[in-house]
Structure 1
């Protein structure tokens, strides 16, 4: 299990980093793009999309840092026993968040978010490839189920 834990943890790190890069690109683009005489970021709907994207990335980052702290302070045996479920839930949430970020980023970039070159290339590549992380290392559904099963297994009998 410890090998799976580290593999999945690395995938979460990569997914969060890529999501953050896409959010940064969206912030830059929305401040540069002029639509109807105003910056795109002056539109409330765009700011709402950016807020949602930032919230997803920051939530994933905070959870990732919490898991990382635990990994640094546990033995491999403890990690195998205690962190398989939480890392599975983190990976599931991180890849679902990447889906949300990719979808909103394409909407912010419009047609440029579908082009493989130019200003939209980072968004296009992320939108095309984010799904790999949701499948490799265990699908979102399987890992979410692992997390719930592990939590139920560790619950005190008096609570069941």
Structure 2
């Protein structure tokens, strides 16, 4: 029984660490694109939404995605999609994208806002850190509780 109270929190911690790595990677990708100084005019080819969540009693989250296409300075055509963009951009609109020369597929149409990016990343990482600490505390407390019960049960 004690193993259950160890295995489940360890799985939850692993998922939280994976989420933290994903958030950091995304933040670094966007930051690199902004800092590269390379921009291009891109056309919005299409917009669509994805929904997540169970519905019913639980909330449903809808994310707006845009598909953009642009040409790099060396003449290469690139198409990418990006989630979380503004609803004011519609098919056919021209936007400025920022990209890295050696990886233009990781471009972003989001305007540079390093402070906002750092604050958002920091808040998510802080939440995940507290979550991980809570899971560790839960494991320590349940282990201590089972140890006390085992000591009490011995003759």
TM-score bracket relative to the smaller structure: 0.3 to 0.5
Larger radius of gyration: 2
TM-score of the superposed pair, with normalisation by structure 2? 0.37
TM-score of the superposed pair, with normalisation by structure 1? 0.36
